[in-house]
Structure 1
Amino acid sequence: MTDAGTGRAAKNYRLRDWLISRQRFWGTPIPMLHLEDGSVVPVPEDRLPVTLPSVDGLDLRPKGTSPLGAAESWVRTVDPASGKPALRDPDTMDTFVDSSWYFLRFLSPNSDQFAFDPDEAKRWAPVDGYFGGVEHAILHLLYARFITKVLFDLGLVDFEEPFSNLVNQGMVIMDGAKMSKSKGNLVELSELLGQYGADALRLGLAFAGPVEDDKEWNGVSLAGAQKFLSRALRAGDETSSPVGADAATGDAALRRITHRLLADAPGLVEQTKFNVLVARLMELVNGIRKTIDSGPGAADPAVREAAETVAMLLEPIAPHTAEELWARLGHEPSVSAAQWPDADPKLLVEDTVTTAVQIGGKVRATIDVPADISDADLEAAARADDRVQRALEGKEIVRVIVRAPKIVNFAVKG
């Protein structure tokens, strides 16, 4: 239709007019005056803000009208411009009016000259990421968009959308249903906090699944989370190399696990894949345990490097444990101020690769070989494998295709 000249592009924001008045005492008074002739005029700017009256002596029980109407001495006033008698609007604004632009107030929290500085908004806004529950966020996000678009039209901000990225976290449910008092399926967190600690609760919920998914409470293992945190602290206690030990001289296998995690962790956090981050931290703690118990031992500098990495990467999820681990490793607080190290690219290169060996187009074996193996050596390794030899018995090899280090394919007859 556009090509024919009969249509045009348009944006549809799916926004409607917003009725902001509420018949409640709490909230921001609507700064409008109702005159005797039926006209409505705004309260002059120099008389703002309009504040709520004292509740002392007020009967705020529901009567089918706004409760502020009972505050006669407050409602009855005079229009400053004309000097005529006037009535204040007894309604208050929807509380969403306040909560829908707080992110802008954060830019100028102490200013009594303006709600926010437009120059600061250009520098810092819009918000990079918004996290909220789906039930709470729906109306709040609509109203935040509403106000932002009005501010854009007024030239006060240079963006039309308040939040660049949205993540709706899932709910914690019980037996497939939302927790509620009426259903009697609530969990007493105070008791669990006393038994397991806040860090175990946070870690258990993070490990239970992706942020945006609902999590079945019966599947959250606080005991398992507590056990892992204890193992992490134990690794710190057993680390015996001095602070500042040269990790480059440490165990190469453990260092590869550490640096692969250091390479992936920033992306996992940015993508809110906290469950994967926890799983990788568990893998690293297992690697530390293996190195201490059956490898070079607790004095190996790679053990210290790995334990320090656990402390730094654990801090966003289990801050108390991370701080304790950091101190046990001989560092001054706080671990939250420590900068995550960059991964060493040399340690991200795989030393060995798993190669598939196909016979007649079907995978008959997999073999682990050096990543830099030649075609000839890879074919020889494949031929030497017992499983390959058995699969080739009685067959004529017509052709061998080798693509080191990924695949070896024997084309056969018979």
Structure 2
Amino acid sequence: TEKGKMINSGKYSDMLSVDFIDKIDEVSDSIKGSVNYHLHDWCISRQRYWGPPIPIVYCEKCGTVHVPEDELPVMLPNTDDYIPDGSGKSPLAKNLEFVNTTCPVCGGPARRETDVSDNFLDSAWYYLRYLSPKNRSVPFDDELVDKWCPVDMYIGGNEHATLHLMYSRFLAMALHDIDFLPFEEPFASFRGHGLIIKDGEKMSKSKGNIVNPNEYFETHGVDALRTYLMFMGTFLEGGDFRDSGMDAMRRFLNRVWDIATMPEGKSSTELKIKMSETVEKVEYSINNIKPNTAIAAIMEFVNEASKETSIERQLVIDMAKLLSPFAPFVCEEIYSMKGGKKKTILDDGFPYGYEKYASMAKTELPVQITGKMRGKVVLPQNASQEKAMEAVMADEKLSKMLEGKSIRKIIYVQDKIINIII
């Protein structure tokens, strides 16, 4: 029953079964190779009250008839009797005023379809309707679809990858085939996010480990919760929610506020260099959906800023700009307090003007000799291999280790490590 060699199969004996499958139609005309899919047909109808009515009527004379376009949409009737009764029929089936209608073709008596569309059907094309939600003449504007679609990136959990994403792709391909869309694939890329757990287990009511965010709004604040959720783990893997982490995030935001209320004055060149590094790290992290590393970079800046006795106003504003995607309320308050030039921090763009300080930034470069760590040297960022070797040879301890030795190979990863093979 498993893969292997064929036996008792005449001329096919000793043939590998995987090869025999391709020749199955040679054995008998009644046996043909086929592909079996485990995907069931998608049933879009639901037996409930809430949902878009299906625009079909049934006439004994004309059969199944589409509701004319000028009578769309079919509206749900107002009723207090909307609870399913266990009969397997939609609650709408009991509303005779809704059910009984006239046939659009012959004008005779007819009855409406009482099932409604599954919500998945509408959510499978919501990205198109979002472009023109108030347009009552067409479902979506073709010019806006050409401008904005396909969607650059689809973000969702694992359950979306096999349900909602699949339905969206199916509907887009169907609309493409009937010339309503210029593309088949609705989303250019997909990123699946991780799962937030509590005490090492998936959150569930049965385990009693559900987190109610409203409680943390009162004790820690909305910003602390938002920032912690994006800091607690990687986007792709998720993380373990802990109260101790929430406490730490509240302390961090308090430190941010302390820096924002420091005396205004000239900041050190080192702090401006640190800001240039932070701007670069946060921009990279946001573009690559790594909010945890962006927040970690801001934390490093806050640590350095807390060592200063005064700080320039623009540095405070730029710190708030970098943190605002994660903690918008406190950052908006800081921006207003520091006299931001725009109506809101969201309109003021990304920090800029630190290029000259970026060129002054230093990095500690680990030095290996034949694979063993022997020390570190301090270099300007993005230094060449030649500059790195100059720094190594200028270090008294490292140069003695290399004295009289023949260097066979140098492995240099800029700003990361240098390995000198002797």
TM bucket (normalised to shorter chain) is 0.7 to 0.9
1:105 to 93, 111, 129: 129
Distance 1:380 1:83, change over 3 A: closer
Alignment map for 1:113-128 (pairs within 5 Å) = 113-128=137-152
Compute the displacement of 1:253 (Å).
1.5
Residue 222 in 1 paired to residue 246 in 2? yes
Structure ranking higher on relative contact order (CA contacts 8 Å, 6+ apart)? 1
Residues 362-412 of structure 1: CA deviation (Å, up to 9, x unaligned):
553333356588699646523x33x654x57xxx7254689899869595x
Deviates more, 1:400-409 or 1:227-236: 400-409
Distance 1:207 1:85, change over 3 A: same
Equivalent pair of 1:400/1:410 in contact (CA under 8 Å)? yes
What does residue 364 of structure 1 align with? 374
What does residue 171 of structure 2 align with? 147
Q: Distance in 2 between matches of 1:216 and 1:399?
A: 51
| Two-structure CA RMSD over aligned residues (Å) | 3.2
Instruction: Please state whether the residue corresponding to 1:167 is helix, strand or coil.
Output: strand
What does residue 252 of structure 1 align with? 269
Deviates more, 1:318-327 or 1:187-196: 187-196
Alignment map for 1:9-158 (pairs within 5 Å) = 17-37=41-61, 39-56=63-80, 60-136=84-160, 138-158=162-182
What does residue 288 of structure 1 align with? 305
Residues 304-347 of structure 1: CA deviation (Å, up to 9, x unaligned):
33322210011111001111221232325411111113354333
Compute the displacement of 1:91 (Å).
1.0
What does residue 10 of structure 2 align with? none
Instruction: Please state whether the residue corresponding to 1:164 is helix, strand or coil.
Output: coil
What does residue 5 of structure 1 align with? none
Residue 319 in 1 paired to residue 303 in 2? no
Equivalent pair of 1:397/1:410 in contact (CA under 8 Å)? no
Q: Distance in 1 between matches of 2:105 and 2:62?
A: 16
Compute the displacement of 1:274 (Å).
0.3
Alignment map for 1:399-410 (pairs within 5 Å) = 399=406
1:298 to 294, 305, 310: 310
Instruction: Please state whether the residue corresponding to 2:404 is helix, strand or coil.
Output: strand
Instruction: Please state whether the residue corresponding to 2:155 is helix, strand or coil.
Output: strand
Distance 1:353 1:317, change over 3 A: closer
Which runs of 5 or more residues in structure 2 are unaligned? Answer: 1-36
Compute the displacement of 1:259 (Å).
1.2
Residue type of the alignment partner of 2:162: I
Equivalent pair of 1:239/1:329 in contact (CA under 8 Å)? no
Instruction: Please state whether the residue corresponding to 2:210 is helix, strand or coil.
Output: coil
Distance 1:358 1:139, change over 3 A: closer
* Identical counterparts, % of pairs: 35
Q: Distance in 2 between matches of 1:375 and 1:147?
A: 57
Residue 265 in 1 paired to residue 274 in 2? no
Q: Distance in 1 between matches of 2:348 and 2:70?
A: 49
Instruction: Please state whether the residue corresponding to 1:309 is helix, strand or coil.
Output: helix
What does residue 200 of structure 2 align with? 176
Equivalent pair of 2:285/2:291 in contact (CA under 8 Å)? yes
What does residue 342 of structure 1 align with? 352
What does residue 240 of structure 1 align with? 264
What does residue 381 of structure 1 align with? 394
Q: Distance in 2 between matches of 1:79 and 1:118?
A: 33
Compute the displacement of 1:172 (Å).
1.8
Q: How many pairs align?
A: 379
Residue type of the alignment partner of 1:284: F
Distance 1:238 1:198, change over 3 A: same
* Alignment TM-score, normalising by the size of structure 2: 0.80
Equivalent pair of 1:77/1:85 in contact (CA under 8 Å)? yes
Q: Distance in 2 between matches of 1:256 and 1:313?
A: 15
Residue 397 in 1 paired to residue 421 in 2? no
Residues 248-285 of structure 1: CA deviation (Å, up to 9, x unaligned):
x8532111111122223223112110000000000111
Equivalent pair of 1:107/1:116 in contact (CA under 8 Å)? yes
Equivalent pair of 2:228/2:246 in contact (CA under 8 Å)? yes
Instruction: Please state whether the residue corresponding to 1:366 is helix, strand or coil.
Output: strand
Equivalent pair of 2:282/2:295 in contact (CA under 8 Å)? no
Compute the displacement of 1:59 (Å).
7.0
Distance 1:365 1:40, change over 3 A: same
Q: Distance in 1 between matches of 2:229 and 2:299?
A: 15
Distance 1:276 1:354, change over 3 A: closer
Equivalent pair of 1:356/1:363 in contact (CA under 8 Å)? yes
Instruction: Please state whether the residue corresponding to 2:186 is helix, strand or coil.
Output: coil
Instruction: Please state whether the residue corresponding to 1:235 is helix, strand or coil.
Output: helix
Which runs of 5 or more residues in structure 1 are unaligned? Answer: 1-12, 242-248
Q: Distance in 2 between matches of 1:229 and 1:162?
A: 39
Distance 1:257 1:53, change over 3 A: same
Residue type of the alignment partner of 1:126: P
